[in-house]
Amino acid sequence: MRGFRWARVGLQFDNGSGASYWHTVRDSLFEKCQTGLYLNLPSGGVSLVNVQKCNVTTPITGCCYWTGTITDSPLCTDKSFLALRNNDVSDYAAYVQWPPDTMGAVGPSHFVANIQYVIAVFNKTSGTLQEWTDIGTFFGANVPADPRIIYDQQCQRWIACVADKADQSRNVRLAVSRSSDPSGLTTNWDKYTLPVAEPGFYPDFPTLGADANGIYIAVHLYQPLQNPTAWMQKVVAIKKQTNCLTVINPSDIHVLPPLSSPYIWFVIQATVNFDAVAADGIAWFVAKGQGQPGPIQYGRLKWINGTPQFLEDPWNNSLSAPQSYFDLDNNFSFSAPQKPYGDNNQGITMNTGSRLMMAVVRNGHLWTCQHVGLNAQGSYNGDPESALRTGCQWFKLQISTDGQSLSIADHNRIYDNASSSPYFYYFPSLMVNSAGDMVMGFSGSRDTEHIGAFYPGRRANGAQPNKPILIQAGRSYFDFNRWGDYSYTSLDPNDGLTFWTIQQYAETPAFGHNQHYGLCVTKIMKNP
């Protein structure tokens, strides 16, 4: 869905003398416009098909016939800014080549981006870049990879981590701000090393969660060029003190014994839990097994006399996910198209497979999401050749009242049902607010469009846009098959209702190559 935003007149139609035309406005959203549609058509008219509005003073005016209506959008963007493009910081330009693992979170006054090369602090009101440094310097990591960051609303601190793949380290680095203000990247944060190293293994794809009792990091450990069935997972649980993260003592850090991975590309997602949790409450972890498709599996961790313990082998608990999708795991040849550049026609590889991308607990439900292969009907008939697009799938899992199990309460898929030249949507993230509304953010492209940033949303009452809303169009061909491994959507702590999503898009090339991206940070609110 295309947007017309912050305009005196969103779209105007004029006919010359004696002319008569009939126009169609389709799949459009008018936001914060004085006038949505102005029609200067003495004859002819306009057909409105799936047209929505938010904060528009006069939706439609002028002289004309029209059919259809402009309905209220359940959600709308409030502001947006572009971050860390190739011309933002001259010293940073050399970094803006390879795609980042797109990660950033919102706090009371700032937005912090923590991506593959830099950590940067922005004023969230103006979008002004206030401070940045490379993440190797920030974390004290020699080969940093897969950065994460959250704003812990319960402790009012920023928490960030990164895998250090250097041979002399092979650990995870953790950073915690000393206040709710992230400024002072080199002076106002405490840094820690989490000893997850195992001989011959490298850390990869750490995930980051938190609840009232602790901070949780799950990390994948792999052996290059070795039998992947021997790969493993580790979970680090860090006990929060009563002074809530002022200092983390060595005795607070617990590295749990390795978990043998039952599947090759298994990744555990630690959850961000916004609900109240008792001192002996459950910390939830979810993962997706490999298969066609693999089940959603979950683990329950509990603090017992100050020590974290899994209550059972976490991979004995599983949910049967809806079976009608193509699981992208172990299928690295599957790629999303983009608009070609001359003879260059490089697709974007789904290199992460259909692993779960993030997990959030809110109001007794655990939400998670993934990208999957689908046909034009949003399903899959068992033939890989029928999966001609990717879509983004979300799950709402009910936590049982006794905290013993999960069950699927709801789920849906966001996909393009066009019979030709469909959009591919990929690398989703989601967040749920205190009212139960949900927003996803993800990348999207098709063979006639560059890679852009999109979001759909779902109000707690079920209202949602008919199509994903484009928040930043791609600007150029991206000449590389990798597109980062994830994105992130976070919740504004000031009201508990407003969403912020950070998404990647293809930016105008510079420095003689076409591997440039930009990051779009967008604030999304309920339609008043």
Domains of the chain: 2-72 (no CATH), 75-526 (2.130.10.10)
Residue 70: C-alpha distances to residues 22, 51, 60, 242, 287 (Å): 17, 5, 8, 52, 41
CA atoms of 71 and 73, how far apart (whole Å)? 6
CA atoms of 379 and 400, how far apart (whole Å)? 29
Q: What is the pLDDT of residues 320-365, one digit of tens each?
A: 777 788 888 756 668 899 999 888 888 988 878 889 999 999 999 9
* Burial letters 432-458, b for 16+ CB under 10 A, else e: bbeeebbbbbbbbbbbebbbbbbbbbb
Cβ contacts of residue 402 below 8 Å, gap of 6+?
none
pLDDT at 246: 84
Instruction: Give the CA count within 13 Å in the CB-facing half-sphere of 148.
Output: 31
Q: 493: which 2 tokens?
A: 């702590």
Mean pLDDT of 252-280: 88
Partner residues linked to 62 by β-bridges: 39
Tell whether the model's pLDDT for residue 92 goes beyond 60. no
What is the number of other CB atoms lying within 10 angstroms of the CB of residue 251?
8
Tell whether the model's pLDDT for residue 90 goes beyond 50. no
CA atoms of 132 and 234, how far apart (whole Å)? 30
Mean pLDDT of 504-517: 73
pLDDT at 91: 46
CA atoms of 53 and 239, how far apart (whole Å)? 46
Q: 89 falls in which pLDDT band (50, 70, 90)?
A: very low
CA atoms of 191 and 5, how far apart (whole Å)? 42
The residue type found at 59 is: P
**Cβ atoms of residues 424 and 444 within 8 Å:** yes
| DSSP at 226 | S
pLDDT at 203: 94
Q: Is 229 helix (H, G, I), strand (E, B) or coil?
A: helix
Task: Single out the residue of 267, 141, 143 nearest to residue 206, CA to CA.
Answer: 267
**Cβ atoms of residues 179 and 188 within 8 Å:** yes
The residue type found at 45 is: G
Tell whether the model's pLDDT for residue 507 goes beyond 90. no
**Cβ atoms of residues 97 and 515 within 8 Å:** yes
CA atoms of 413 and 324, how far apart (whole Å)? 11
**Cβ atoms of residues 374 and 380 within 8 Å:** yes
The reported pTM is 0.94
Pairing of strands 35-54, 70-72: parallel
Q: What is the pLDDT of residues 376-407, one digit of tens each?
A: 999 988 777 788 899 999 999 999 999 999 99
CA atoms of 356 and 394, how far apart (whole Å)? 9
50-54, 278-282, 292-296, 486-490, range with the lowest pLDDT: 292-296
Tell whether the model's pLDDT for residue 230 goes beyond 80. no
Instruction: Give the CA count within 13 Å in the CB-facing half-sphere of 300.
Output: 17
CA atoms of 388 and 423, how far apart (whole Å)? 10
More confident residue, 398 or 466: 398
CA atoms of 482 and 350, how far apart (whole Å)? 8
pLDDT at 250: 92
Give residue for tokens 């002319």. Answer: 19
Burial class (CB in 10 A: 0-12, 13-18, 19+), 15: middle
Phi, psi of 385 (to 5 degrees): -70, -15
CA atoms of 289 and 295, how far apart (whole Å)? 5
Tell whether the model's pLDDT for residue 265 goes beyond 90. no
Mean pLDDT of 57-78: 91
Q: 380: which 2 tokens?
A: 């899959």
Q: 178 falls in which pLDDT band (50, 70, 90)?
A: very high
